[in-house]
Amino acid sequence: MQNIIRKSYLESVRRNRAAGPSPLLLSRRGGTIMNSMRQAIRLEADAVVVGTGPGGASVGRELAKAGKKVIFVERGRHPERVGNHLSMIKYVDRAGLVYSEEGLNVVRALATGGSTLVFTATACRPPSWLKDKYGIDITYEVNETEEELKLAPLPDELLGPANLRLMSCANELGYEWEPFKKFIDPQKCEQGCSDCILGCKRGAKWTAADYIAEAVRHGAILMNRVRVREAIIEDGRAVGIKGKNAQGTPVEIRGRWVIISAGGMGTPEILQRSGVPEAGQGFFCDPLRMVYGTPRDKGIGTASAPQMSVGTYEHHVEDGYILSPIIEPLFLFGASVGMRKVTALPQWVNYKSILGIMVKIKDDMGGRIDLDGKFSKPLSYDDRLKLDKGTRVAEKILEKAGCEVNDIFYSVDRGAHPGGTAPIGKVVDDNLQTPVENLYVCDASVIPEPWGLPPVLTCIGFGKRLARHLLATKN
């Protein structure tokens, strides 16, 4: 993929030389288009897409496949050598140490592919209310993606003993656990591996970077390490974006379509600076808590199982939470359980045998995104109630799996799916256009209500739908 991207850079250099502006140099490290003279970099395209997560990658890929000239502008680096703890720290925003004013940790990746670089690769169809209440029907796009990427549950031998054990205990208790569909190619996946969250070094996990690579093969350009600040608005219409690259060189890209896909936390900052102050006023982040126990037989634990590969959505509508086995990566695990309760820290020695169940909730829309990475996200009384309710069920399942109920311990609560910061019906219309003409949003920001589900498949659906809409417009 790196070669394809480099070729595409060279092509863009050639085109820009032909067009006359100052010479652009290709970074030897292959990351960024640079201008050694510090003169502004100016480019033009049919579509400028800010952010390369599943929303941006999907819309850009469709437009590129239709022959449109697409430029992706990505704040983060292009990932190399993933699959270890260091790589995760390198590509996650501020090494994962991002906290709300109230002290809630929220995790997101800044890299080609956005948070799919570190996602656990679980695919979940959007809830029916998106169509019934908001008229956003992405059934066709979701079906198409399921077929295209062959989304399916993993076979039992890859699910592994810990997942199968927790699933059968839950079902014996009368719950309805099942294997989840995954963005994973079972042919490339390895038994006993749980490294999705560190970035998959085997290439078994689909990430949005795969869509970017495909778009680049169709002529799109990817610019890494360019942080977009705002849209360029002329006569009330968005005509491009401006920002700076890692060397501080101003970057200005004009496009027939301007699409902001900088994610639930990145998009509202750009919108606020672009004349859409209502963005980022209230959002969800699907807070989660891990519930851990060590079974008496000290068998194979969740650390040797693909994460979030079985579980249940059965409590989602009524009680606002979902359950699925996950254990945090080793370095995070120690910090997380120790911060919750220091006496749980010695459990570290049992890491390989520990069974973990994640409780993830549908939190109330609250808080706000400020400029420059600051944000507020209070957990409401109801949010805490949902976390506690899910925790009680997880404890029962762990007890059934042979864990001593008094020895059960917990991670800190944190958020991992920020969204709803430019909701459909409030900030964007049902074609994902903001009040500023030609300024579109395509990512988890547009989700209009509390969510509490894996959002990637929905973001892909939004991207494909927006591309179809744009290609059908005449302007």
Ligand X SMILES: Cc1cc2nc3c(=O)[nH]c(=O)nc-3n(C[C@H](O)[C@H](O)[C@H](O)COP(=O)(O)OP(=O)(O)OC[C@H]3O[C@@H](n4cnc5c(N)ncnc54)[C@H](O)[C@@H]3O)c2cc1C
Where do contacts with ligand X occur on this chain (CB under 6 A)?
Answer: 50-56, 73-76, 107-108, 110-111, 114-116, 118-122, 197, 227-228, 243, 261-264, 266, 270, 308, 416-417, 443-444, 454-456, 459
Looking at residue 407, its amino acid is D
Three-class DSSP category at 384: helix
Closer by beta carbon to ligand X, 221 or else 403: 221
Other Cβ atoms less than 10 A from the Cβ of 172: the count is: 11
Between vectors from CA 174 to CA 169 and to CA 176, what angle results, nearest 5°? 85
DSSP string of 396-437, one letter each residue: HHHHHTTB-GGG-EE---EE---B-SS-BTTTB-TTSB-SSB
What Rg, from alpha-carbon coordinates, does the chain have? Answer: 22
Query: Nearer to ligand X by C-beta: 50 or 303?
Result: 50
Nearby residues of 3 by Cβ (< 8 Å), 6 or more positions away:
none
107 vs 408, which CB is nearer to ligand X?
Answer: 107
| Rounded (5°) CA angle 396-365-424 | 120
Nearer to ligand X, 170 or 184 (CB): 184
CA distances from 275 to 24, 109, 250, 269, 433 (A): 31, 26, 21, 11, 13
Considering the complex, what minimum distance in angstroms separates the CB of residue 328 from ligand X? 9
Give the CB-side neighbour count of residue 121, counting CA atoms within 13 A: 29
Q: Distance between CA 187 and CA 258 in Å, rounded? A: 38
Q: Which is nearer to ligand X, 50 or 221 (CB)?
A: 50
Task: Point out which residues pair with 324 in neighbouring strands.
Answer: 358
332 or 403, CB closer to ligand X? 332
Q: Which is nearer to ligand X, 42 or 242 (CB)?
A: 242
For residue 381, the minimal CB distance to ligand X (Å) is 25
Residue 281 C-beta: closest distance to ligand X, Å: 18
Among candidates 241, 223, 360, which has minimal Cα distance to 290? 360
Smallest separation, CB 38 to ligand X (Å)? 20
DSSP 280: T
Decide whether 54 or 320 has the Cβ nearer to ligand X: 54
Minimum CB separation of residue 396 from ligand X in Å reads 24
Give me the least distance between CB of 272 and ligand X, in Å please. 12
| Min separation Cβ 172 and ligand X, Å | 26
Q: Among 119, 206, 187, which residue's Cα sits nearest to residue 444?
A: 119
Is residue 162 within 8 A of residue 168, CB to CB? The reply is no
* Residue placing its CB nearer to ligand X in the complex, 126 or 320: 126
Measured N-to-C along each axis, helices 381-400 and 156-172 cross at an angle, to the nearest 10 degrees, of: 100
CB of 123 to ligand X, least distance (A): 7
CB of 246 to ligand X, least distance (A): 12
